[in-house]
Amino acid sequence: MTPPRLDLADLVRRSQRLALGSAQGKALLGGAPAGDGVLREVTGFGGNPGRLRMLAFVPEGLPPGAPLVVALHGCTQTAGDYDRGTGWSILAARQGFALLLPEQRQANNPNRCFNWFEPAHTRRDQGEAATIRQMVAHLVARHRLDPRRIFVTGLSAGGAMASVMLATYPEVFAAGAILAGLPYGAGRSMSEAFEAMATGRPRPARDWGSLVRAASPHPGPWPRVSVWQGEADTTVRPANAEEILKQWRDLHGLTGVPLAGEARSPAHRHRLWRGPDGLPLLEHHAVTGMAHGVPIAPRHGDAPLGQAGPYMLDVGLSSTEAIAAFFGLGPEVQPTPQPSAPGWLDRIIAVGRDGGARVEQTRSVPGPVHAPLRQAAKPDREETAADPAAPTPRSASAWLDRMALTRRAETGKPPPDMPDAGGGFDPGRIIRRALKAAGLLER
């Protein structure tokens, strides 16, 4: 099928609105310091071929063996902007994990976009990808973090860069979450990136998977992946989410019909594919009516996260909490016992929000066994390694899930030790700016 014709003039107009909206939003936020002051810059972490800044948050008293989350901002954002909007550092303090936020420099990209479409920065051991890997290695060694529980997430250009990290260092990352991003290999130039953002650049699943297989010597197993997309996004079209799913379905060998997960709001649709251990290998979250950005819920729940602003969209759904649950960092995700007949699912036992078990009937479907995602209620208090209190149904379900994730990690090999936004009518500048607007390095 012939891709739709790109309207460059429209994309240029949108790029101008994006830049203006970001500037106005930051002014409304009062220019608060990065991460409200909790992020600390780290230097001397390696050769830094990508010339990025390293900012991190390590909760006080974090014990050895803690997980690490890498969060990648979008265009026009800083690490602090992204942390403030998503609430990742707040969740890190609550749940006990380290947080790494690489930051793009304007000298590398005037819009602070990660250069996810430039081959010099998207190959293993080169450019920005290599720099982020160096940051991870430094933080893991310095704080004795668990090398089996390293995760990456990002928005837009940061989401596309998360795809790069999952593809080029699949042995390093246990799982990733891509928000309004693109598949690995979607673009190898500015023009290709522009086209991908606008059309999705559809191709067969096997071709997408082959791009990842060729990106490293790693033979598998592959990272688990969570994909998020606003269905009203005109910067990075929703078709890109489907292409990301095709890429990772091929890598995981998922050919069965996905099952419906738990919708966290009326506008939220959730699909997932489970592996033999009952944990989701791949999932897709679609939010009806949501534009380009991160779904957050800063006014909802007992302990809300994040702050609304440019590309931080209060839709009553916290992607930060949901992603942390997918990573196995919180009590929400519950593994499901497998049925006796491989390839068919007759019923499952799920843990409900009240902590009680129940049997659910579901239609049998051919293909790999997948079970609906269910949430366990949040614990009444924080669990700590020093508190061996007798498990309640809630804490027990969280503990079982963490154990399942640990067992999964132990089966794999341990990891080895844009453009210009200026004014004028320069055609090159206009194309680059439109590219960023498109999500090319969105933000």
Kindly report the CATH number assigned to the domain that includes residue 78.
Answer: 3.40.50.1820
pLDDT of res. 276: 82
pLDDT of res. 148: 98
In a domain, 15, yes or no: no
pLDDT of res. 358: 30
pLDDT of res. 303: 84
**191 included as an active-site residue:** no
Query: Which amino acid appears at position 109 of this protein?
Result: N
pLDDT of res. 36: 53
In a domain, 153, yes or no: yes
* Rounded distance between C-alpha atoms, residue 136 and residue 150, angstroms: 8
Give the pLDDT band of residue 223 (cuts 50, 70, 90). very high
In a domain, 425, yes or no: no
pLDDT of res. 301: 76
In a domain, 423, yes or no: no
Mean pLDDT, rounded, for 407-422: 41
In a domain, 415, yes or no: no
Give the pLDDT band of residue 257 (cuts 50, 70, 90). confident
* Rounded distance between C-alpha atoms, residue 229 and residue 290, angstroms: 8
Mean pLDDT, rounded, for 124-141: 99
* Rounded distance between C-alpha atoms, residue 184 and residue 162, angstroms: 9
In a domain, 426, yes or no: no
pLDDT(141) > 60: yes
* Rounded distance between C-alpha atoms, residue 350 and residue 333, angstroms: 10
Mean pLDDT, rounded, for 45-70: 98
Structure-token pair, residue 198? 């606008």
pLDDT of res. 332: 42
pLDDT of res. 418: 32
Segment 301-346, tens digit of pLDDT: 778 899 999 999 999 999 999 999 999 996 543 333 332 222 222 2
Of 98-102, 114-118, 269-273, 298-302, the least confident: 298-302
pLDDT(427) > 60: no
Mean of all residue pLDDT scores within the chain: 76
**Which range marks the domain in which residue 126 is found?**
33-334
Mean pLDDT, rounded, for 240-252: 98
CB burial class (10 A; 0-12, 13-18, 19+) of residue 355? middle
* Rounded distance between C-alpha atoms, residue 352 and residue 390, angstroms: 20
Catalytic annotation, pick one of 156, 163, 319, 395: 156
pLDDT of res. 114: 99
Mean pLDDT, rounded, for 164-190: 98
pLDDT(45) > 80: yes
pLDDT of res. 353: 31
As for how many domains the chain has, the answer is 1
Higher pLDDT: 400 or 318? It is: 318
In a domain, 208, yes or no: yes
* Positive or negative torsion for Cα 215, 217, 222, 223: negative
In a domain, 410, yes or no: no
Give the pLDDT band of residue 126 (cuts 50, 70, 90). very high
Mean pLDDT, rounded, for 203-227: 98
Pairing of strands 53-57, 98-103: antiparallel
The torsion angles phi and psi of 112, rounded to 5 degrees, stand at 60, 30
Most confident of the ranges 168-182, 302-316, 385-399:
168-182
* Rounded distance between C-alpha atoms, residue 342 and residue 251, angstroms: 20
pLDDT of res. 252: 97
Give the pLDDT band of residue 408 (cuts 50, 70, 90). low
pLDDT of res. 7: 47
Per cent of the chain over pLDDT 90 is 60
pLDDT of res. 409: 52
